[in-house]
Amino acid sequence: MSTADDERTRRLAAIEARLNPQRDTVADASAPGAGTPGSAGSAGAASSGTSTPLFGSNNGPPRNLPKAWKRPTAREELERRREVARILNRTIVRDSGYRQAAECVETLLKIATNIQGSSEEKFRTLKSDNTILKNKVLSVPGGREYMVTMGFHTETRNFVQFFILDQSQKRMYELGLAADVLRDALPSLQERLSVSNISKTAHKAEEAARVAAAKRQIEEDRELVRDRTERERMGRMAHERALAHAHAHAEAEAESKGEDEGDEDDDEEEPSVPGYTADRRWGHGQKLGE
């Protein structure tokens, strides 16, 4: 065996010893003569002679290895639940209408329920251009942030953004916690929506009644205007008839007075006409018979 192969074997043994320290300890304890000082010294010498530190002079495990996830305590879980509830109330609930917020919460809860009820990847991988997701979650203020709170992370594939949830204990725990907050908030939102719908219905009824009353008032005003206009027209016609009657009466009186004056002139004495009278002379001559 070459020197390079020996070096490679020593490095692999060192890596395995550092990744599995407990197994090496048990093996050393079960080996013959493990408890004697001589054997310990020889083992230490053999170990020091055959192993080469891979991560420097530090004999402990590397610090950059991922730590195992530990479930939060009851107090930590309560604080996390309160934080998630604040995120929900200060974004989706506060900055959206009742209907929009209720639909967003229902959609997010359905996404969480599908993931919890099935291990299929299609429920944990959501395209951002999905119609329901885009209209009911991503378009709502705070919807995208709450999906991140649920444990999703974004990833772009072929110029399309995806929301992906890893099926790890930590992510599934975060998903369940966020789903519980959604379940607690949904009844209140639905009740507000129902009250809002009732209020809108009552407002529409009041508005319709107000419009109907306004129309009736307009018709009454129009009727009053028509009646007043008709009365004024009848008054003008009566006045015109009275004027015409007075004018005709005045003309009749004038004509009657003119006829009376003519009759009086006829009754006056007419002047004498020259004739054969006794005291009348013809020319400058004498009377006949003189």
pTM of structure: 0.51
pLDDT (tens digit, 9 = 90+) per residue, 53-102?
545 555 555 555 556 788 899 999 999 999 999 999 999 999 998 899 99
Better pLDDT: 13 or 71:
71
Q: What is the largest CA-CA distance in the chain?
A: 224
- The per-residue DSSP string of 150-211 comes to TT-EEEEETTEEEEE---SHHHHHHHHHHHHHHHHHHHHHHHHHHHHHHHHHHHHHHHHHHH
pLDDT band, very low/low/confident/very high, at 144 (cuts 50, 70, 90): very high
In this prediction, residue 102 carries a pLDDT of: 94
Is 136 within 8 Å of 77 (Cβ atoms)? no
Task: Report CA-CA distances (Å) from 243 to 102, 234, 238, 251, 267.
Answer: 79, 14, 9, 12, 36
The CATH number of the domain covering residues in 74-199 = 1.20.58.2190
- Is pLDDT at 46 greater than 90 in this prediction? no
- Is pLDDT at 42 greater than 50 in this prediction? no
Domain assignments of the chain as residue spans, ordered by start: 74-199
Q: Nearest CA to 163 among 140, 133, 139, 135?
A: 133
- Is pLDDT at 3 greater than 80 in this prediction? no
